Structure 1
Amino acid sequence: MIALLMRDLRLAVRAGGGFGLGLAFFLIVVTLVPFGVGPEGKILARIAPGILWVGALLACLLSLDRIFALDYEDGSLDLLVTAPVPLEGVVSIKALAHWITTGLPLVVAAPVFGILLHLPQGAHVWMVISLLLGTPALSVLGTFGAALTVGLKRGGLLLSLLVLPFYVPTLIFGAELVRRGAEGMNTETPLLMLAGITAATVALVPFASAAAIRVNLR
């Protein structure tokens, strides 16, 4: 499993889906927003949680199509399906590799990018917590969409359309957690909901992704 994780990390970086791509897209989104809504600090501070979460969500979409595509093209996916290692475990490792190369850099960079949007000082910690809890769900759900579209030519757009509706609950509760934290309100409900969504996703989705891969490879 560790060898597979290290292999996927190297492939992600070499294929252009590594740390820089998601961060660059995240920065572009954060930079363009003030040009669209104006430089008014109060307005930016109000919409900052939602904008940061939308930027992180879209940045995660950029490299989803590469999760299984490279393995499918070189025949490694067929070997992984027939290997003694459970396919559900392989899917989980690939989701972890995607999160390390895409989600984790976004978590680290979010407080810095929040400054550009005048995110309130007290909300920076909640921004990190919400992304740390929510981005693993984005990566795991992404493996399901990638499994459904594996082998399809130009399946990136279809993958985005399949995955985006499943991202909505994580987006809602993640942004709400930051908003409540910024306003000093009770954060227990969105925090528990976000953690519950991620826990359920991590526990259940790898089985669905593994089943989709088996069907596509028949």
Structure 2
Amino acid sequence: MIRLILRDVTLAVRAGGGFGLGLAFYLIVVVLTPFAIGPESGQLSRIAPGILWLGALLACLLSLDRIFALDREDGTLELLATAPVPMEGIALAKAVAHWLTTGLPLTLSAPILAVLLNLPAPGHVWLAASLAIGTPALSLIGTFGAALTVGLRRGGLLLSLLVLPLYVPTLIFGAEVARRGAEGMDLSAPLILLAAVSAGSVALLPFAASAALRVNLR
């Protein structure tokens, strides 16, 4: 599993499709928001948690179709299916690699980009914490969606339509954690719910993704 993770991370960094593209898209969303909303600092600080979380969610979508599609095209996926590692472990390794190349860079860059949207200083820590807890769920849900559509030609649009409804709880709870943290409110409830979504994704979605892969590889 570790070798598979390192292989996918290396390929993503070399190709730039998941690593650089997601960060560039996130930066564009944050930079363009003040032009669309207006430069008023109070208004920007109110919408900053939602914009930063929405931008991270959409940035994660950009590289989902690459999780299994390239391996399917060159025959690597069939070889992985015969490997001694169970299919659930392969799905989990793919999700971890996606998070390392997409979710982790977004988490680390979010507090810096939050300055552009005038997010209050206390909210920077909770924004990063909410992304660190919530983005693994985004990668796992995306891996499940990618497994469902791996056998389809040009399934990127269908993949986005499948995973976006599943992303909504993570978006709601993650943005609420960042908002309450910025305003100094109690955030235990959304934080627990966000952690529960990620924990449930880790526990269930590798098995669901492996079942979808087995069906598509028949």
Aligned counterpart, 1:57: 57
Supply the distance in 2 between the matched residues of 1:191 and 1:185 (Cα, whole angstroms).
12
Q: 1:30 maps to which residue?
A: 30
Note if 1:80 corresponds to 2:104: no
Unaligned 5+ residue runs, structure 2?
Answer: none
- In the alignment, is the contact (CA less than 8 A) between 2:26 and 2:56 conserved in 1? yes
1:6: Cα distance to partner? 1.1
The RMSD of aligned alpha carbons is 0.8
Letter in 2 for 1:45: S
Taking the TM superposition and a 5 Å limit, the aligned residue runs for 1:39-118 are 39-118=39-118
Assess if the C-alpha contact under 8 Å between 2:18 and 2:62 holds in 1: no
Displacement, 1:154?
Answer: 1.0
Partner of 1:216: 216
What is the CA-CA distance between 1:113 and the residue it aligns to? Answer: 0.4
Q: Residue 197 of structure 1: CA displacement?
A: 0.5
On the 8 A contact 2:19/2:101 being kept in 1, the answer is yes
Output one character per residue of 1:160-181: Cα deviation in whole Å (capped at 9) or x when no partner: 0000000000000000011111
Q: Which residue number in structure 1 is paired with residue 20 of structure 2?
A: 20
Does the CA-based 8 Å contact 2:49-2:119 persist in structure 1?
yes
Q: Which amino acid aligns with 1:172?
A: I
Q: CA deviation at 1:184?
A: 1.0
Deviations 1:5-60 (A, max 9, x none): 11111222233323211110000000111111100000000000000000000000
Per the alignment, in what secondary structure is the counterpart of residue 186 of structure 1?
Answer: coil
Amino acid at match of 2:95: A
Show the counterpart of 2:153. Answer: 153
Q: Helix, strand or coil for the counterpart of 1:39? A: coil
Moved segments of 4+, more than 4 Å:
none
Q: Provide TM-score, normalisation by structure 1.
A: 0.98
SS at match of 2:63: coil
Residue 151 of structure 1, CA deviation: 2.3
1:141 aligns with 2:126: no
How many residues of Structure 1 are paired with residues of Structure 2 in the alignment?
218
In 1, are the aligned partners of 2:170 and 2:194 still within 8 Å (CA)?
yes
Q: 2:163 maps to which residue?
A: 163
1:34 maps to amino acid: P
Q: Say if 2:134 and 2:174, in contact at 8 Å, map to a contact too.
A: yes
Q: Which residue of 2 aligns with 1:130?
A: 130
1:4 deviates by 0.9
Counterparts of 1:10 and 1:109, CA distance in 2: 20
Q: Counterparts of 2:24 and 2:200 in 1: how far apart (Å)?
A: 30
Aligned partners of 2:95 and 2:86: how far apart in 1?
15
Could you report, residue by residue, the CA deviation over 1:69-100 in whole angstroms, capped at 9, with x for unpaired residues?
11101111111112221100011011000000
2: CA distance, partners of 1:178 / 1:10? 32
Contact 2:5 / 2:93 at 8 angstroms: preserved in 1? yes
Deviation at 1:182, TM superposition (A): 1.1
Asked if the contact 2:87/2:210 (under 8 Å) is kept, the reply is yes
Give the match for residue 9 of structure 1.
Answer: 9
Partner of 2:196: 196
Tell me the CA shift for residue 3 of structure 1. 1.2
Q: Identity over aligned residues, as a percent?
A: 71
